[in-house]
Structures are given as structure tokens and as C-alpha cells.
Amino acid sequence: MRTLDTFDWITISAYFVVLLGIAVWVIRKKKESTEDYFLAGRNVGWFVVGASIFASNIGSEHVVGLAGAGAGNRLPMLIYEIQAWVVLILGWVFLPFYARAGVFTMPEFLEKRFDARSRWILSVFSIVAYVLTKISVTIYAGGIVVSALLGIDFWTGAIATVVLTGVYTVLGGMRAVVYTETLQAIILVIGAAALTLIGLDHVGGWQSMKETVTPEYLNMWRSASDPDFPWPSLFIASTITGIWYWCTDQYIVQRALTAKNIKEGRRGTIFGALLKLMPVFLFLIPGVIALTLKMRGELDWDSPDEAFPVLMSNLLPSGLRGLVAAGLLAALMSSLASVFNSCSTLFTVDIYKKLRPNTPEKKLVRTGQIATVIVVIIGIIWIPIMANISGVLYEYLQSVQSYIAPPITAVFLLGIFHKRINAQGAFITLVVGFIVGALRIILELVKESLDPGSFWFHLGDMNFLSFASWFFLFCIVLILVVSYATAAPSEEKLKNLTYATISEEEKSRNKSSYNWKDIVISLLIVAIVIYVMVWFNGK
């Protein structure tokens, strides 16, 4: 790998100066209320909402891992990257319910729809899941990226980035996060697009690349009997995980809740969905380009996860290389900032405020800042443990999320679409669901010591996509059985929180929040997703 030169460092320095300027500008604004600190005063426009959704999603583990999937014969994983249609579901289906409920967090919505027990279990579980997956994986991948790009050791790179991101997140709150993410999204798209175009030109175009790797390599649809990626399970499991991640997870939904109103929030999700169409071409294709050059003997790397940094350092000219390096740093920082802020919001609003309901607004903001600092420290402590998952970053992330998503997706989906679902059904499904998910992870780790013919071995050894699909069906049946076996919720409890109980006034208000342009752009996005799915068929 080539090291960065003077022009590259000038580009990176310019990026950090602009970033610092935005952060200082935001920090100097008033932020004494929890609404301002955690939801940017609910006063953000659609462009910033959409850019923030995209930047939150694309972390350095995403860039590194997705390019690694392209370079390491894991192309079916791209189905997780063309879920723009699921982002639309957030804006068209879920967001109006969240906005009507006036909530800060997803656990808060569960309390309004069901009861406090569901709120508690989702709050605690979400914070633990963020620390074990999002924070630790992002810091680990970021350490690899920073040390590779800047030529410094892993620990220095990881800790410096975490501390820098933590400082502006603690001081500026959600407003600092969404505005810095808008800049980071723009830089990341420009840099990665340049790498893709220069890379394709270098390998002689799409057709030449296809001939080198063979058309079959570019097939995302494998047979139903494929041991790794059976297509029915792949489609079902990715949809379940997608609905959980894009429509019910605090990390993403919090961006849409910062909008001025439902209209701006929905348009933000439509813009976010439009941006979500790009990662396949910005990050996965460079991985395939890197593989093509390796097969031709023009490039070399040891692990597929090194494909993106190696390609970037070898192909891009001076200055532009610095811009893409800044984009990778931006991806790392935006993901970290988002998850830091989401953790502090969940802790402050769903745990601290519940235990001490009379706490003044200023003290709640201070509590949120302290919670962010603690999460930053825990994230740093967790780094050494993440060394164990090197090389399978993207697949690791999707498999763990496949065990987390089914119970949460089942509770939110049925909670909105079926008014007979009650608090008991939701609570039992969340508790049993989290126990089963944890059990699956444990069995997967110890399966080598189990009897190959036993039920427990089969449960731990089952393909993670197939497991997620059957697990979701189990959660749906469980929530229906428990709900119908216990008392129905009162009409007053359900008002405006399910499709069957929306008032005429709210229906009218929702209808006036969109026009034909929103519908046409949404349909166009769905058409592009279908086209991409058909295009990657190995022919």
C-alpha cells in the first residue's frame, strides 16, 4: 500500500477544519432542553434527515466489510444493501405512528402501545446490543482503516477517532450529529464514486471485469439448497432484519424523528432510500474490481477486508486519495457519533427519566452527556475482544442481527397492524425471543463439543438465514397465541396507535403530508431495487 503524501494530508486537514467549524457552530447554539439535545429540537429539514440516515448506516465496518464481501465470494450479502424499499416502509408506514405518539425513543412507543415492561426490556437490551455489536465492531473496523491509511498503530488510530467523535457528540448532541453527518455523507459518496469509476476504467470496463471473475461470480441468487446463502431464507431473513434495523431501531429512527413534521420526515426517508441505492456500486463493486486486479496479478492483499484500502491507495491519484481517506474517516465518525447519541438517549429518556421523573431538563441533558462518555469508555475497553472477529466482519454483523431482529420485528409489525395484540403477548415474545437469540449465539460457539445428532447441535449449526426465518415465524405464532389467550387491550389504549384505530382527523392530516411527487419517487426507488435484484443473476 502507498502511504499518503502532502496533498492527501492537505485534503484530510481541510475536511477536519470544516468538520470542526460545523461542530463549534452547533455547540454554541442553545441546547438546554432534552428535545433539542436528543432530537435537534425536532426542527431538521428533509435533506439533512436523509443524509443523516445514510451516513449513520454507512460506517467504516460497512465500507470495509461490503468491499470484502465483493472480493470474497459473498455477493448474496448485497441483498442487505439494496433495502431502499424497506427505508420507504419507515416513512410511509411506521413514522406517522411514531410522530402521532410524540415519542423520543422506540421503547417509549412500546410503552404507549403496550406497557412499561416492554419498554424496559427493549431499552436495556438495545443498549447492551449497541455496545456489543455497533460500537465495538465500528471501533474495531475503524482502527484497522485508520492505522492502514495514516500509517499509525491500531490502538492510536482507534482511540484518537473515538475520543474526537465522542467530544463533539457529548458537547453538541443530536444537532451536531445530523449536521456533521450531512458533510460526511457528501464526502463519502464523492470519494467512493471516484474510486469505482477509476477502478472500472482501470480494469477495462464492466464487461472485462465480468469475464475475469466469470459471470457466475456476480450471481446473488443461489439455489435453495446452498449451504451458505439459500435464496428463500436469504430474502426472508434480510427483510426481517431490514424492518428491525430501518423501521424500529433507535439508531436509525431517531434521525427521522428530528424532522420538523411528518412531511419533512417522510421526505427525509425517501431521500435516504435514494442514497441507499448507492452502496452496491460505491463499496461492493470496488471489492469485485480489487479481486479482478488480484486475479490478473496487478494487486495483492491477504484478507478480503483489505480490498477497499489497498485498491484506494494503489489506484487513486494524490489528493483524491486523501479525499477518500477523509471519507472513510467520515464513515467511521458518523457511525460512532450516531450510536453514542442513541445510547445516551435510550439511557436518559428510557431508564434515568423513568426512575427519576421529576429531573429538570438541564440535568437530563447533563445525564445524557455523562452516559455518552461512559459508552465511549466501554467501547474502548471492548476493542481487544473484537480482534476475534477479524476477516468476517460483515457476515458476523448480519448473523448477530439475524438473532436480535425477529422478536422485535414481530412485536412492532403486529402491534401496528393488529389491534388484538396485547401487552402480555408483546412482553412474552420479547423475553422468549431474546432468550432464544442468546441461546443460539451460545450454541453456535460451543457446537463442536455437542453430539452431532442432537437437537441442540442442529439448532446451533443451522444456517443463520434459515434460523432467522423460522425464528420469526415462531415469534409471530407466540405473540398471537398469548394475545388471544389473554384479555384484549382497551380502545382508549389503542387510539391512533394501530391502523384500525386511527381517527378521521389523523387520517386527513396524514393524507395532506404527501403529494404525487413523493409517491412517484418512492415507486421509482422500488423499481430500481427490483432491477438491481434481477441484474445480479450471474448471466
Neighbouring C-alpha atoms within 13 Å toward the C-beta of 87 = 34
Q: Where are the domains of the chain?
A: 6-30+45-402
Which tens digits make up the pLDDT trace of 216-235?
888 889 888 888 889 999 99
Per the model's pLDDT, the better-predicted residue between 339 and 198 turns out to be 198
Which tens digits make up the pLDDT trace of 288-343?
999 999 999 888 887 787 788 788 888 888 888 888 777 777 767 767 777 777 78
Across 15-29, average pLDDT: 76
Residue 236's pLDDT band, with cuts at 50, 70 and 90, is very high
Average pLDDT across the chain, whole number: 83
CATH number at 6-30+45-402:
1.20.1730.10
What is the pLDDT, as a whole number, of residue 198?
93
Cα distance between residue 473 and residue 428, in whole Å:
15
What is the pLDDT, as a whole number, of residue 254?
81
Residue 530's pLDDT band, with cuts at 50, 70 and 90, is very high
Across 444-468, average pLDDT: 86
What is the pLDDT, as a whole number, of residue 393?
59
Which tens digits make up the pLDDT trace of 507-527?
998 899 899 999 999 999 999
Neighbours of 211 (CB within 10 A): 12
> CA separation (Å) from 345 to 34, 150, 238, 497?
9, 33, 27, 22
Report pTM. Answer: 0.84
| Contact of 411 with 121, CB cutoff 8 Å | no
Which tens digits make up the pLDDT trace of 113-156?
999 999 989 988 888 777 767 777 777 777 767 776 667 777 77
Cα distance between residue 5 and residue 266, in whole Å:
43
